[in-house]
Amino acid sequence: MSAFLPILILLTSFTPALIIFFLPEHWRMLRTAINLTGAIAKVSLVIVMLAGVASGETYEFRFELAPGLNILLRADALALLFISLSAALWLLTTIYAIAYLAEGPNQSRFFGFFSLCVAATTGIALAGTLITFFVFYELLTLATWPLVIHRGDSNSFAAGRKYLAYTLCGSASMLIGIVWLESMTGPIEFTVHDRLLELDATTLRVIFVLLIAGLGVKTALVPLHSWLPAAMVAPAPVSALLHAVAVVKAGAFGIVRVIYDVYSVALVQQLGVGLPLAFIASLTIVYGSVLALRQDDIKRRLAFSTVSQVSYIVLGAALPGPFSTIGGLVHLVHQGLMKITLFFCAGALSERLHIYKVQELDGAGQRMPWTMLAFSIAALGMIGIPPVAGFVSKWYLGVGGLQGGQVWVLAVLAASSLLNAAYFLPLIYRAWFKPAGGGDGGLAEWPLGLVLPAILTALAALLAGVFAYAPYSPLSWVTFIVERNYGI
């Protein structure tokens, strides 16, 4: 049974996708039931696998496509960190999307690709080889493009073309790197790096750049980031999925795999490619925050915030030492919880109060107090104010920078936090302390499906900070990963 659990967890989102594609539009109840059943089944299997991996169980499925070409699904502790995030947030995003798109057209198409996107993300997390990773990485591109263009207007198609142009060029770079590397070493599994020590250092550096460039597109590293703000024409559930669960996290997760499970931390430092990557991540952190400060549209401000925040993961992976590694990996979860809350809230504000711009937020806290409370908690966490989870990530990254002798990391974190405050605090101030600009003044927090997911994710972000050292908290699990998998 252990060999088939990775396949089963993949099928919990792949099977609903195939069924939903063929459902008539008016079969809403059945579509909802299939969506929720798949999401709940995935969460249940994740809980089983978390307990198993914690006790030393191995979950691995291997299928040979051709001699020397294996599709390998392996549920190690790092994979489960990503799958746990995607499974929990998929369930909540499904509830949110059902409420958000209640009267919208083309729902079978939307939820079919929505589930396929999560299946691809699950495959990326479970991938045990570079080739397996690449297959699901490409499936993710193909599954998310229809979601980006879902509205079907000219802006959506323009954003879709830009998304494909960037991601396919990134995929080409990554494929060249994989083929070049495996032509010299044979198939690369995510537990083996000894063969790389025999290769020429310059060749390894070039291949590293090709792989990181390919992954850096989806991670939205500067200057490969402009597709992400453009994709904000998509509906709010898609934005939440892109920023917190799927696309940008897939890129960041891939960079973590390349550094730790293909090259190894020691080899990355020996080749001298870790510090340049850390500088690029730092530039992205600060530059993304500066651009966010200049945005009047709320979703675009959140998009540039994502450009900045996801690079904390890359920064932690690129720096040597256990604390920076922990800070980067735990931010994969913490950022997901906080950012999906912000997009849930932005979508609810646009749907219920038709608020799209920063200056339209005046008095929003009076009409949607629970929504704006969730937004405020997540925004404060992004700034790094304790006890929300974002503080924990920044603390470990700062200590990791000092531990590795990179004092400049503190300056990057301080500058980013100040910029975070500059573009988030005005939103909070307007919502809670400015009088409402008109309307009937009644409460607008319904249906429950638009409000409850944001409250739950904001609460999770708060609890992840307050109980950071509790067993099975994101921080405890990441510490387990670093100690057990990487011996750092």
In this predicted structure, the answer to whether residue 201 has a pLDDT above a threshold of 70 is yes
Contacting residues for 273 by C-beta, under 8 A, at least 6 apart: 205, 208, 209
Contacting residues for 47 by C-beta, under 8 A, at least 6 apart: none
pLDDT at 440: 56
Phi, psi torsion values for 127, nearest 5 degrees: -55, 130
Query: What is the Cα–Cα distance from 10 to 412, expressed in whole angstroms?
Result: 38
Split at pLDDT 50, 70, 90, the class of 484 is confident
pLDDT at 25: 87
Prior bond of 387 cis (ω within 30°) = yes
Q: Please, what is the angle between helix 107-126 and helix 77-100, to 10°?
A: 170
Q: pLDDT tens digits for 159-195? A: 999 999 999 999 999 999 999 999 998 888 898 667 7
Exposed, middle or buried by CB within 10 Å (0-12, 13-18, 19+), for 39? buried
In this predicted structure, the answer to whether residue 29 has a pLDDT above a threshold of 80 is yes
3-state secondary structure of 73: strand
Contact criterion met (CB below 8 Å) for 305 and 382: yes
Instruction: Pull the structure tokens for residue 137.
Output: 């990485």
Q: pLDDT tens digits for 393-408? A: 999 999 999 988 999 9
Q: pLDDT tens digits for 336-378? A: 999 999 999 999 999 999 999 999 999 999 999 999 999 999 9
pLDDT at 207: 97
Mean of all residue pLDDT scores within the chain? 92
Range name among 63-72, 181-190, 447-456 with the lowest pLDDT average:
63-72
Q: pLDDT tens digits for 260-276? A: 999 988 899 999 999 99
pLDDT at 290: 96
- Cα atoms found within 13 Å of the Cα of residue 225, Cβ hemisphere only: 26
In this predicted structure, the answer to whether residue 2 has a pLDDT above a threshold of 80 is no
In this predicted structure, the answer to whether residue 472 has a pLDDT above a threshold of 90 is no
In this predicted structure, the answer to whether residue 459 has a pLDDT above a threshold of 60 is yes
